Amino acid sequence: MNSAVETGIKSTGDAAAPGGVRRASFAVIVDNEPGVLHRVVGLFSARGYNIESLAVAATDRGALTSRITIVTSGSPQVLAQIRAQLAKMISAREVFVVSDDPHSAEGQPPPVIAMSKGDAL
């Protein structure tokens, strides 16, 4: 049984990490309404999960949606449970595992722009 295939979550760190702890990035498209971020954070807090990184931004003002990007870590089973709990939220429209996206910038060095004195913007 390959848990990475079943849960859609794969390791982004050392395969020999203690206890099989993996890191995952989730992107959640939610209704842009008061209290949604509080409910998402409460979901993590109530279950004792740690949020390593959190970013929130409005995505479509016409559709009144926002994107919440969360980086967390845990066993494959814990990460699958987090994904399922996020998907169950009434205000959640879609849940993506960003760390599985081959075009994701996770783990990539930041882009560098180099200019010489003769270059103009």
Mean pLDDT of 38-66: 91
Mean pLDDT of 9-29: 68
Residue 56's nearest CA partner among 44, 71, 46 is 71
- Model confidence pLDDT, tens digit, residues 39-51: 999 999 999 999 9
Domain around 91? 3-100
3-class DSSP state of 11: coil
List the CATH number of the domain containing 9: 3.30.70.260
Indicate yes or no: pTM above 0.75: no
User: Which DSSP letter does residue 89 get?
Assistant: S
3-class DSSP state of 50: coil
Per-residue pLDDT at 99: 77
Question: Is the residue at 111 inside a domain?
Answer: no
- Is the pLDDT reported for residue 35 higher than 90? yes
Mean pLDDT of 67-94: 93
Higher pLDDT, 104 or 115: 115
Q: Which residues pair with 23 in a beta bridge?
A: 73
Question: Is the residue at 81 inside a domain?
Answer: yes
Average pLDDT, the chain: 78
- How many structural domains is the chain composed of? 1
